[in-house]
Amino acid sequence: MKHILTSILALGVLTSYAQNPAPARPQERAIALTGATIHVGNGQVIQNGVVVFDKGVITAIGDGSTPTAGSEVISVSGKHVYPGIISPASTVGLQEIGAVKATVDKQEIGELNPNIRALIAYNTDSEIIPTIRNNGVLLTQAMPQGGTVSGSSSVMMTDGWNWEDAVLKKDDGIWVNWPSYFARNFNFEDFSLTIQKNEKRTEAMSALLATFAEAKGYLAMQNPTPTNLKFESMRGVFSGKQNLYVRADYSKDIIEAVKFAKSLAIPKIVIVGGEESHKVATFLKENNVPVILGELHRLPNREDEDVDMPYRQPGILQKAGVLVGLSYADGWWRTRNLAFQAGTAAGFGVTDKEEALKMVTSNNAKILGIDNLVGTLEKGKQATLFVSAGDALDMRTNVVEQVFIQGRKVNLDDRHKRLYKTYKDKYEQK
């Protein structure tokens, strides 16, 4: 009992240390950002540019001659304006402190849960959200985990009082953990990784195949009775309104997963993780399958691979014509470093920095099906953007000074800044 009380008190101290800033108010008047280098997000760069937005929507963008009459003009001369960075395949908002079970809500019990919605678990009061926002990550995909079929994800804004305020696109896709031929075991004593045959694969594959086959048969019926909520939640996958996100790393698993989706006439499949996707790049291109890569800042998982293969992989896929997005996968609090992964990709094979920027903006928007709203700075799209003092893909110069989400100017206070100020004051005292 003593330990339980201690844990509760400790959690109380953590959560009551400071409050996140209140969500931004709706945009009240037109705003024009002038004099900046504008990175449109589609490969185009506008020097000494102007972007004007009103009521949360971009109304004009161009060079210095773009009209700004009637707008509140904010000079950002010498700085850089970017579309909001989009973090797919994320558990931001679904977990806070990995070691405190009560703050982790990213999966449900059971193996086949297509009806589970990550949307309603998204915690807008998370202390992590403001920290990723301060590096330009303004949209995140709340992704369920666990089991063979994990549930549905939703695309969320990093500002809002609750999940209803924060949601941009509900239930954008169903998530599947592809049963691999191999299982990885990590030894925490000597930090070694061993790969062995997955003894549970046959059982998991049988259940997965049966679930999708039954769902397709059920959805082919008119007015099926009784209603099956699990199968109803998969309707969008078969109609093309939702993506089928498949976590698969080995090349053989990737090919098998794509053929599985094709055999069921599932229109949209996305490979997530894809550690060996570069080995099947031609196959992915031929089948028009995009890839969301996981963490790049890591060592390769095979001893015979080049040490810089994770860095070079986005460039290999890009040159093969595959639509590539970048994510931080399970590193929820490290999501703030997503832009720097794009910077790394630019230095290891991606043709240029603007192409690397697309991998965390417009490419991710296309994959998630939100490119009509965000991902690039274009007239008619939402004014979800940020101003950086320097190159946002470089950790040395990424200093985010202003953030706008749907035109709302967001307070950039966060726990990191508060702690920095606290200890700066402490060590400056005589």
Span 177-188, pLDDT tens digits: 999 988 877 776
In angstroms, the CA 328 to CA 343 distance is 14
Provide the token pair at 161: 């009082």
Residue 91 · residue 142 · CB < 8 Å: yes
**Assigned domain for 5 exists:** no
Q: Looking at per-residue confidence, does 417 or 184 come out higher?
A: 417
**Assigned domain for 350 exists:** yes
* CA 134 centroid distance within chain: 15
CATH number of the CATH domain containing 217: 3.20.20.140
What pLDDT score was predicted for residue 191?
67
Mean pLDDT along residues 294-308 = 90
pLDDT band with cut points at 50, 70 and 90 for residue 13: very low
- The position carrying tokens 């293969």 is 309
**Assigned domain for 8 exists:** no
**Assigned domain for 151 exists:** yes
Q: Is the pLDDT of residue 15 over 50?
A: no
**Assigned domain for 244 exists:** yes
The answer on 330 and 318 residing in a single domain is yes
Q: Which of 317, 340, 371 marks a domain boundary?
A: 371
Structural domain range at position 102: 85-371
C-alpha closest to that of 55 among 406, 409, 410, 411: 406
Cα distances (Å, whole numbers) of residue 327 to 7, 23, 130, 233, 241: 33, 25, 18, 25, 22
DSSP assignments along 349-418, one per residue: TSS-HHHHHHTTTHHHHHHHT-TTTSSS--TTSB--EEEESS-TTSTTT--EEEEEETTEEPP---HHHH
Provide the token pair at 182: 């191999």
What backbone torsions phi and psi does residue 72 show, to the nearest 5 degrees?
-80, 110
- Which of 30-39, 95-104, 281-290 is predicted least confidently? 95-104
The answer on 321 and 387 residing in a single domain is no
Mean pLDDT along residues 63-74 = 95
What pLDDT score was predicted for residue 2?
43
C-alpha closest to that of 325 among 173, 149, 141: 141
Supply the mean pLDDT for the chain: 92
In angstroms, the CA 158 to CA 403 distance is 11
- Which of 83-87, 190-194, 391-395, 406-410 is predicted least confidently? 190-194
Using alpha carbons only, what angle is made at residue 30 by residues 29 and 36, rounded to the nearest 5 degrees? 135
**Assigned domain for 125 exists:** yes
Q: Is the pLDDT of residue 9 over 50?
A: no
Q: Is the pLDDT of residue 379 over 50?
A: yes
Which phi-psi region, left, alpha or beta, contains residue 290 (left: φ > 0; alpha: ψ -120 to 50)? beta
**Assigned domain for 426 exists:** no
What pLDDT score was predicted for residue 369?
98
pLDDT band with cut points at 50, 70 and 90 for residue 94: very high
b/e per residue, 142-159, with b = 16+ CB within 10 A? bbbbbbbbbbbbbbbbbb
Provide the token pair at 52: 């004007």
pLDDT single digits (tens) 97-107: 988 999 999 99
**Assigned domain for 224 exists:** yes
Domain total of the chain? 2
CATH number of the CATH domain containing 69: 2.30.40.10
pLDDT band with cut points at 50, 70 and 90 for residue 430: confident
What pLDDT score was predicted for residue 100?
92
The answer on 118 and 72 residing in a single domain is no
Contacts of 287 (CB under 8 A, 6+ apart): 258, 262
Please report which residue ranges of 173-232 form alpha helices under DSSP H.
201-220, 229-232
- Which helix (DSSP H) or strand (DSSP E) does residue 137 occupy? strand 137-142
* CA 313 centroid distance within chain: 18
pLDDT band with cut points at 50, 70 and 90 for residue 14: very low
The answer on 176 and 46 residing in a single domain is no
